[in-house]
Structure 1
Amino acid sequence: MSDQGYLLDNQQTEAGRRFEALSALLDPVTFRHLAATGLTAGWSCWEVGSGGPGVPDWLAARVGPSGRVVATDIDTAWMPADAAYDVLRHDVGADDPPGEFDLIHARLVLTHVPRRAEALTAMVGALKPGGWLVLEDADPALQPLICPDEFGPAQELANRLRRGFRSLMAERGAELAFGRTLPRLLREAGLADVQADAFFPITSPACTTLEIATVQQIRDRLVAAGLATAEEIAEHLENVASGKLDLATAPLISAWGRRGQSARPSVAAGR
């Protein structure tokens, strides 16, 4: 990424509201995929780029005291001090994996990691024989609109601000078409039983909360880049708060695959 860093800084107060909204939207999808791996008591799990406690809490409840959960992130500020699992500061693209695991999961992480190939190599290399890797990433290029039904000025403004948001992300190294590549990358990594699906909410109260928090986080950057005026952003936030916009998200692509029981798979460079 550029030296401007990650666009959605986790130190900002709005980050907590973003995490809550993402959990409300995506946790049911994620939990369904993780449960489908056969997750059970005694498993060791690595939650990569955990952000908040929602997913590692769920994992810890399922593996029980005989299992192990490690939650890692480059910023662990939103993790509880009394978590019933290990919390580690960790850069998945640069640091060695914190062990070997039956299940490794990352959601909305690799899109933002500059060294994506190294991160994927690290995760595949940390799988135990038979272990599962579940990756979930958005694909804003596949569905770029926040208002797919662009029938009026409010929707047009929302979509213009969303285009500005995407351009700021791309400038910082985010791969906006990454989600669709996940099945291929898992196959190229040598994993077996690869499958994938997508989740695409079109309207939800959580989408409204997420949009307000996101725009509040980036409003100064939008203005500084000449992508919107302060007045336009204020108008958009009023439109969103009215509850009259049908706000969508980019599709979340979920892909999963299993390491064979014998030789460790080799990972292609990927994107």
Structure 2
Amino acid sequence: MADDGGYLLDNQQAEAGVRFDALATLFNPSTFRHIDALGIAEGWRCWEVGAGGASVPSWLAARVGPTGHVLATDIDVSWLTADAEYEVRCHDVGVDPPPGDGFDLVHARLLLVHVPRRAAALAAMASALRPGGWLLVEEADPMMQPLVCPDESGPAQRLANKLKRDLRTLMAQRGVDLAYGRRLPPLLRDAGLTEVEADAFFPITGPACALLEQATVRQIRDRLVSAGLATDEEIDQHLDNIAAGLLDLATSPMISAWGRRPA
């Protein structure tokens, strides 16, 4: 497959659904804990940016109830339910003006590092807040913890980490900022937000970690091979190692940062 310069993990590939399910299992509990702590209540207006799948906007819609409103946007809305209890809109946050008349909550997860105009996107999300509204941004930081197998104890683990380095090479070539997560707190303050805080969540092993790794590797294998970074034999061996249960597979730390527009 030729390297077309597009998003490595786009929604149009069959593995996207598996990735969405694995990401929901791994990170929804942390995301929902943060949103609950921000005080989400019935009647809130929420914007889920780069929603991908339906799990987060569906949860938001249940929390804000019939008097609230949830808008889920993405450049590809094929994995969102058109007749759901939330509104679906095709929208490029780095290019299009912010939608709506002001939100109590704007949330994005694993989005901004992949947006070429991420500064403009973050500014747009902050500007969409109503006075007193909250922005919650969650991004992985692969450079903070770069190993998919933190315990590199044998050849299977070394191969897994080698392929993770290859993936990071592809991501960097696409303009992904691999250390963006740690910069979220000052970026939120620069956007004029107050009460800024952040934390990190770091799954180390489990079935969802394995599913996420399998789907990711299958989704990018052609690009890894065509770029000369990995061979089909290496990828097949890695997938076999996962299927055999030989690996404890970790994710990159997920940095969650939140701030509030002054009332």
TM-score of the aligned structures, taking structure 2 as reference length: 0.97
Match of 1:267 in 2: none
Equivalent positions of 1:129-168 (< 5 A) are 129-168=131-170
Match of 2:117 in 1: 115
Match of 1:172 in 2: 174
Equivalent positions of 1:48-63 (< 5 A) are 48-63=49-64
Structure 1 residue runs of 4 or more that deviate by more than 4 Å after TM superposition = none
Equivalent positions of 1:1-271 (< 5 A) are 4-99=5-100, 100-261=102-263
User: How many pairs does the alignment contain?
Assistant: 260
SS in 2 for 1:193: strand
Taking only aligned residues, the RMSD between alpha carbons, in angstroms, comes to 0.9
User: What displacement does 1:181 show?
Assistant: 0.3
SS in 2 for 1:220: helix
SS in 2 for 1:176: coil
- Structure 1 unmatched ranges of 5 or more: 262-271
Cα deviation code 1:64-88 (max 9, x no counterpart): 0100000000000101122111100
The alignment-based identity, stated in percent, is 68
SS in 1 for 2:88: strand
TM-score of the aligned structures, taking structure 1 as reference length: 0.95
Cα deviation code 1:65-116 (max 9, x no counterpart): 1000000000001011221111000000110111110000000000100101
User: What displacement does 1:244 show?
Assistant: 2.1
Counterpart residue identity of residue 203, structure 1 = T
SS in 1 for 2:160: helix
Match of 1:269 in 2: none
Indicate the larger mover: 187-196 or 44-53: 187-196
Is contact 2:61–2:85 with CA below 8 Å preserved after alignment? yes
Q: Distance in 2 between matches of 1:159 and 1:3?
A: 25
- Structure 2 unmatched ranges of 5 or more: none
